[in-house]
Amino acid sequence: MSRQAGGRTGKAGLALLGAAVMLSMTACSSGETEARQVIEQAGTRITVMDNTSESVYTRLQLEGIDKVADMRSMDWVSEDIIVVDKENRSLSPQLIEGLEQYPHNLYLHNLSTGEDTPLQEGDQNYGAAQVSPDKRYVAYKETNEMVGLGYIRDLESGSAVKVDEAPFRVEEGEWADDGRFVFPGMDGVVYRTDVQGAKEAVVESGESYVHEVVQSGGILYYVTGEDMGLTAYDTDSKQSKVLKQSVVWVAPSPDGSRLAIVKRTRPGEMVLMLCDSEGNELAELASGQQVFGTSWSPDGSKLSYSLTAENPSDDQNGVFITELESGEQTQLLSDIEIADQLRWSPSGRKLLASAVAVKDNKYESTTYVIRLSQP
């Protein structure tokens, strides 16, 4: 389930450890408090940035960060409920590459009470969960290394349908709207499946490898070819247009009027750009060795992303938020490698970030719930 930065999944593997333990870190500051707090966690230094600079933090304020150990956050169901992936230690472990590993199952985790409710349990590994925009359904995969069988589950009834009979890449697939999930097949065709399990072919790309598939309104975006060309396909007119080359990832704004595009400009450098819906560049927001996890706030006013600087000595590594109207950039976490796409809560006042680190030849996962306020 790994993907180079700029895509939806980072370098970390699927395996996690242990039961959940809720911890809380408050990262607000005032007066002459130090500008950061360094926390030692499982041998890793995590830096929480404090709100001290008026030039950067004139609007957005960091209220605090809650840390949930031993689980990997996937998405929001509500302001207090998130979908998480964690080991099911009630089942027997399997011996994989000489290590005992428990199946990874999906749960609904209550941030207020710390309680977990099973969503999908079993002897197989389940992950890559995404909640539909109306919060009624969750798409997820039964994973087998780099591919998985997709399912859509009704959160109220618990019933589930298959996305497709054939597996597709674990990191691919997005909700096209409240009731349809769009994904690229292994045959180069982009498909859509609705919540009743009805599948349709949307467009044949003519390429063997299609990735970064996402739909906004009637426009379907996808990347193909060695030149990593970004194509916009109009599902009404059936017309295609190549917008840009060297595109690593694309994220349409909630209203579809703008695109956040991660582009590879040269070996070892990626640039996060703000573009209009035609791919015309409006602003360069960030650049570094890797730009990853880009996510729009629900109102479209902010972009969150994880950045790895080109220069190892540069202090521009971690999780950032850019406010698009003012151009202000807020660094929230430093010294941390994000494993998945950042996810905003429905209110836009919380941000999910998950990190996976290797310790004693095992993966340990931590979820960070970043709490924000804005006057």
Q: What is the 3-state secondary structure (H, E, C) of 242-295?
A: EEECCEEEEEECCCCCEEEEEEEEECCEEEEEEEECCCCEEEEEEEECEEEEEE
Residue pLDDT, tens place only, 234-289: 999 999 999 999 999 999 999 999 999 999 999 889 999 999 999 999 999 999 99
The yes/no answer on whether domain 124-245 falls in CATH 2.120.10.30 is yes
What per-residue confidence (pLDDT) applies to 337? Answer: 77
Give the three-class secondary structure for 114. coil
CA dist., res. 87 & res. 293, Å (int): 23
Amino acid at 359: K
Residue 96 contacts by C-beta under 8 Å, 6 or more apart in sequence?
none
The two tokens of residue 298 are 């629900």
| Phi, psi at 8, each rounded to 5° | -85, -15
What per-residue confidence (pLDDT) applies to 27? Answer: 33
Share of the chain above pLDDT 90, in %: 69
Amino acid at 47: T
Dihedral sign for Cα atoms in the order 241, 246, 252, 253 = negative
CA dist., res. 307 & res. 272, Å (int): 10
For residue 190, pLDDT beyond 80: yes
Question: Residue 8: enclosing H or E segment and its boundaries?
Answer: none
What per-residue confidence (pLDDT) applies to 312? Answer: 64
Q: pTM of this prediction?
A: 0.84
**What is the C-alpha end-to-end distance of the chain, expressed in Å?**
39
